[in-house]
Amino acid sequence: MAHVLGQNQYGKAENRIVRVYRDSTRHEIKDLNVSVSLRGDFEDVHLTGSNANCLPTDTTKNTVYAFAKEHGIDSAEGFGVLLARHFVDSTERGVVRSARIRIEEYGWERIKTPDSSSRFIGSEEVGHSFVRKGQEVRTTEVVYDGDRFRVVSGLKDLVVMNTTNSEFWGYIKDRYTTLQEAYDRILATQVTARWAFGFHGRDGEPEPNWNRSYQQVRRHLLEAFAETYSYSLQQTLHAMGTRVLNNRAEVDEVRLELPNKHHFLVDLEPFGLKNDNEVYFAADRMYGLIEGTVHREGVTPVIPVA
Ligand SMILES: O=c1[nH]c(=O)c2[nH]c(=O)[nH]c2[nH]1
């Protein structure tokens, strides 16, 4: 008895794309996860080995990146409409009968730093620094041994990005080095931070204002990220830890884990398009992992190294 090829569809899933608009010093970004799925006349592809009706998934991926450059991304819906129409209308009639484009859009807010001209009344956006919306988790660990407390608080999944003011060059080069030196790259990371308090709770020592402390530490981490002109993520790590210690007397030690969320420029030359640092592939792995502690002199670090 013959078997029947039932429902089938294919395409490239989860194309991670960051589109940067650099028309002024106030950059704009769109961050999307685009999945393409095509339905149509693919019976031969499955049954005979003929790929005459197969638009490669690789091409669907390239189309997503090239369209981001050529048409820009005004809205996820509009971008989806453009892509879906293209896949159906540009292939020979009837081959791709329908195209499904799923898009997840990740929202970003601008990092604000105190307005340098009016420190106490306002704040100023940094044109190239962003924090991803609604992601982070606040953490704490309190240990009490009957004598003293040890409080380590923190946050995780605070995702930040600078679209400029980041370079990386002058590093060791050996026979395995392929990395190109970067003089203007995207710097993005998903911050895991823990910080230890000087508070021990002995002899009626009052508790810090924990909520205010959290908000302020978070603020200083963000400001340091946004304001540091970075020659490495290691240097940014040090600036972030230092900024917290300089501004929050209740904190003695800061430990940071900063994955380097690589953004690779997409080569659009094959499509006759120039990529002026506008269209990136946002890789989720592998990633560089930069970790370090910054602590006050004379204080023995207590935050365990994971
Ligand atoms: O900021 C960086 N630090 C590194 O140690 C490193 N290594 C690498 O390949 N890229 C980067 N970027």
CATH number for the domain harbouring residue 82: 3.30.1130
The reply to whether 91 belongs to the active site is no
The reply to whether 12 belongs to the active site is yes
Average pLDDT over all residues of the chain: 94
In terms of average pLDDT, the best of 100-114, 116-130, 139-153, 189-203 is 189-203
Task: Answer left, alpha or beta for residue 170, where phi above 0 means left and psi between -120 and 50 means alpha.
Answer: left
Q: Is 225 annotated as a binding residue?
A: no
Same domain, 36 and 112: no
Ligand 1 site, residue 237, Cβ cutoff 6 A: no
Q: Which of 60, 85, 105 is the last residue of a domain?
A: 105
Report, as an integer, the average pLDDT of 148-160. 95
The pLDDT value given to residue 196: 97
Residue whose CB lies within 8 A of the most ligand 1 atoms, among 171, 237, 256, 258, for a mutation test: 171
Distance 46 CA to ligand 1 centre (A): 44
* Residue whose structure tokens are 């050996």: 174
259 SS3 class: strand
Please give the residue that has the higher pLDDT: either 122 or 263: 263
Whether the CA torsion 265, 266, 269, 273 is positive or negative: it is negative
pLDDT in tens, 101-133: 999 889 899 999 987 554 455 678 899 999 999
pLDDT band with cut points at 50, 70 and 90 for residue 134: confident
Same domain, 183 and 68: no
Distance 20 CA to ligand 1 centre (A): 22
- Long-range contacts: 303-306, Cβ < 8 Å, 24+? 303/152, 303/194, 303/195, 303/196, 303/253, 303/255, 305/255, 306/257
Report, as an integer, the average pLDDT of 270-286. 96
Q: Is 16 annotated as a binding residue?
A: no
Same domain, 19 and 156: no
The pLDDT value given to residue 94: 87
Same domain, 122 and 255: yes
pLDDT above 70 covers a percentage of the chain that reads: 98
Supply the pTM of this predicted model: 0.90
The parent domain of residue 126 ranges over 108-262+282-295
**CB-count burial class (<10 Å; 0-12, 13-18, 19+) for 236:** buried
Same domain, 148 and 54: no
Whether the complex's predicted ipTM surpasses the cut of 0.90: yes
64 contacts 73 by C-beta, under 8 angstroms: no
Q: Is 185 annotated as a binding residue?
A: yes
Among the options 220, 262, 263, 295, which is catalytic? 262
Q: Per the structure, how many domains does the chain have?
A: 2
Report, as an integer, the average pLDDT of 124-148. 91
Residue type, 58: D
The reply to whether 262 belongs to the active site is yes
The pLDDT value given to residue 121: 55
